[in-house]
């Protein structure tokens, strides 16, 4: 099987793509995918979200899911890079105070492979006859959905639309604000079969997805039909106008597993 990927990112209505605080990244060779949703009210959250997804793709934390200590060690150079990337001298005093508090973002990481435990992965032992598996971990409410045979079979980490809130758990660029987040790393895993579809979505789109599914609909069918950024923009505008989806940055990554198992 091979993954076919489409990905879209759209800012809030009235904003430019440069002002979008969402981020996504993926590496087909490593079969790693990540999305992050920077908190708009925090300083330079777009850079923080980009840093998280890019670092996961190139050098993920140890373990799946990573332990609290492994995640803390992984974040340290990213936090240092984020601080060094700020031109502190040119910031007004009120912006400096906000920046000192740090940037915040939700984070969802997904990896596919035939390896079992992390130790088998380290020594390169592939499990003979084992189906392809997915492993994910998350902090906050960016969400993963797995669809098989036109039925949703997994949703992670949020299971119901009513679970979304205005104050999700967030990863911080200031290490002093990460104690609760690192204790709230959630993990999930499952198998992959030919024809499976995976959807990674930030909160506004993920909430809509679950609302429509709870109403007996199949929202993935609309998302699978998207081919271009323009089509995603048209869909997003309609959802905001007709279905009450809030005006927020939106990111969608669709992974289609095609070919023989």
Tell me the per-residue pLDDT of 17-50, one tens digit each, with 9 for 90 and over.
Answer: 999 999 999 999 999 999 999 998 888 999 999 9
The predicted model scores a pTM of 0.92
Query: Which token pair is 8?
Result: 């879209």
Q: Is the distance from CB of 126 to CB of 114 less than 8 angstroms?
A: yes
User: In 3-state terms, what secondary structure has residue 105?
Assistant: strand
Domain covering 2-258 in this structure, CATH number: 3.60.40.10
Tell me the per-residue pLDDT of 152-178, one tens digit each, with 9 for 90 and over.
Answer: 999 999 999 999 988 899 999 999 999
Peptide bond into 157 cis (omega under 30): yes
DSSP string, 28-57: TTTTEEEEEEE-TTSTTHHHHHHHHHHHHH
Q: Is the distance from CB of 111 to CB of 210 less than 8 angstroms?
A: no
Amino acid 129: pLDDT: 46
Q: Is the distance from CB of 7 to CB of 258 less than 8 angstroms?
A: no
Q: Is the distance from CB of 145 to CB of 214 less than 8 angstroms?
A: no
User: In 3-state terms, what secondary structure has residue 89?
Assistant: helix
Asked whether residue 212 carries a pLDDT value surpassing 60, the answer given is yes
Helix ranges, 138-193 (H): 179-182
Please report, rounded to a whole number, the percentage of residues in the chain having pLDDT higher than 70.
93
Tell me the per-residue pLDDT of 38-97, one tens digit each, with 9 for 90 and over.
Answer: 998 888 999 999 999 999 999 999 988 899 999 999 999 999 999 998 888 888 887 888
Which single residue is written with the structure tokens 């430019």?
A: 16
Asked whether residue 112 carries a pLDDT value surpassing 60, the answer given is yes
């Amino acid at each position: 099987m091979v993954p076919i990927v489409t990905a879209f990112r759209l800012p809030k209505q009235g904003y430019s793509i440069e002002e979008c605080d969402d981020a996504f990244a993926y590496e087909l060779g490593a079969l790693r995918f990540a999305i992050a949703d920077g908190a708009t009210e925090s300083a330079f959250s777009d850079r923080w979200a980009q840093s998280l997804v890019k670092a996961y793709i190139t050098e993920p934390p140890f373990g799946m899911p990573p332990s609290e200590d492994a995640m803390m060690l992984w974040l340290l150079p990213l936090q240092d890079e984020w601080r060094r990337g700020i031109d502190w001298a040119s910031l007004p005093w009120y912006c400096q105070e906000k920046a000192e508090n740090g940037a915040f973002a939700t984070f969802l990481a997904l990896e596919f492979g035939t390896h079992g435990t992390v130790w088998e992965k380290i020594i390169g032992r592939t499990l003979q006859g084992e189906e392809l598996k997915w492993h994910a971990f998350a902090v906050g409410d960016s969400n993963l959905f797995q669809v098989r045979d036109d039925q949703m079979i997994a949703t992670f980490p949020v299971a119901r639309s009513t679970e979304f809130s205005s104050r999700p758990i967030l990863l911080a660029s200031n290490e002093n604000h990460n104690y609760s987040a690192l204790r709230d790393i959630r993990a999930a895993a499952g198998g992959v079969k030919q024809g499976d579809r995976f959807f990674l979505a930030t909160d506004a789109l993920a909430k809509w997805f679950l609302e429509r599914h709870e109403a007996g609909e199949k929202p993935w069918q609309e998302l699978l039909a998207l081919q271009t950024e323009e089509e995603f923009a048209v869909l997003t505008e309609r959802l905001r106008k007709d279905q009450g989806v809030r005006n927020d940055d939106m990111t969608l990554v669709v992974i289609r597993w095609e070919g023989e198992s």
